[in-house]
Chain A
Amino acid sequence: NVAEQLTPVLLDGLREESLQLVSKLKDSSGSCAVDVSTVWWEAAGSRELRVVTACESSVSLWKPLASDRWGKVYTWQLGEIPVIQIVPLLDTCNLVCIALGDLEIGEIRLLLYSSENDSFKQSPVKTGNIKAVLGLKDRRLVSSSRTVQEQQVEIVSFSETGRSKDGQTLMPPEETVLAFAEVEGMSDALVGTTAVNSIVVWNLKTGQLLKKMHVGYSYPASICHRAYSDSGLLFVVLSHPHAKESESCGNPAFRVIAFNPKTARSTGVMFSSLPPGHAGRQVPGGLCVPASYLEGDVKDASAAAVLTSGAIAVWDLLLGQCTALLPPGPAGSWVLARWAATSACLLAGQRDGTVCLYRY
């Protein structure tokens, strides 16, 4: 019955991609869900994908059981500072980072399983006024943080057992860096988006700041999600959380932009707008807040985002089209949309701790 009610609505005339409900888990602790992610976990010689859920005061690890069920393996208790984000480390096993803070990130902590003494642990990675953080390949983490005088952009590496190795500093731009993305296929390149709508490019090996390129003020608060280099151009997937349905032509939710890093000139390649006709949220007094996008995630050519209406929209970024729409469930609105570390699996979360896994 639940599966039937949660069957996503496909929009007319689009390709036949759809979302199939595969399994569901629910944290019965009664705390509000803050984030969800996946992590590769190695146990007894085999590697499997596990789900990590976060509420304000704890983070839980879930393993797949028989018949599409999930069982909680362990819960890390975090103390007084609220968890605000899970930071997955790509292509690593048995390690995941979390960001803690009030309105902004004040601390990053590593959660891990230590086979040395067969125990689950947590250890501090970094504290400060942290503006952005991203897990990179090869057990590395990049973050930007601000002091009164300056900005620090730092990479921390972890050993397999979770010990922090020497950090590396990247040359900071003048503006605050608000998001990072690795450049796929270029192991030494990293991009970031700044508070004044610029794209910056670093050489990770040397720490050099190679280029700063302006995105344009007509698309405020751009956040980079993905970057790749092809034919001498740098393609960057940007999202615009303030996109509005009513301005769908001029204010898309996601854009793919091609930059020529040599000249800093750019051109739009593809635009993905909010799904038409998906009405906004009704508020007391009968006013309708237009549909906009609250938060989203990009993996390969797929983007997913929670809309203010409580639905989740999925786009094919290469087609520039919305391919599936997951309406709010019977238990309430969706609040989280994340792609799993494996291909084609969407994690959709509700505030009450319910997480549904959809095959896309």
Chain B
Amino acid sequence: CSESDLGPISLNWFEELSAEAPS
């Protein structure tokens, strides 16, 4: 899978989404 197909990839996606999502 390339970044162009899937968009920018982050190894810390879980932490970043947790910081952004409403709680």
Contacts and interface: CB of A to CB of B under 8 A. Distances in A.
Interface string A259-272: 01111011101000
Contacts of A233: 1, 6, 9
Given A201-B17, A206-B18, A208-B23, A265 B5 contact: yes
Contact of A232 (B10, B18, B21): B10
Q: Chain B at the A interface: mostly helix, strand, loop or mixed?
A: loop
Contact of A210 (B6, B7, B8, B14): B14
A208 B21 contact: yes
Interface residues of A, number: 26
Given A258-B6, A267-B6, A203 B14 contact: yes
B13 A262 contact: yes
Main secondary structure of the interface of A (DSSP, over half): strand
A176 to B, nearest CB: 21
Given A189-B14, A261-B14, A210 B21 contact: yes
B23 to A, nearest CB: 5
Given A232-B13, A267-B5, 18 more contacts: A201-B17, A203-B14, A203-B17, A203-B18, A203-B21, A209-B21, A210-B14, A210-B17, A210-B18, A229-B13, A231-B9, A233-B6, A233-B9, A258-B1, A261-B14, A262-B7, A262-B16, A267-B1
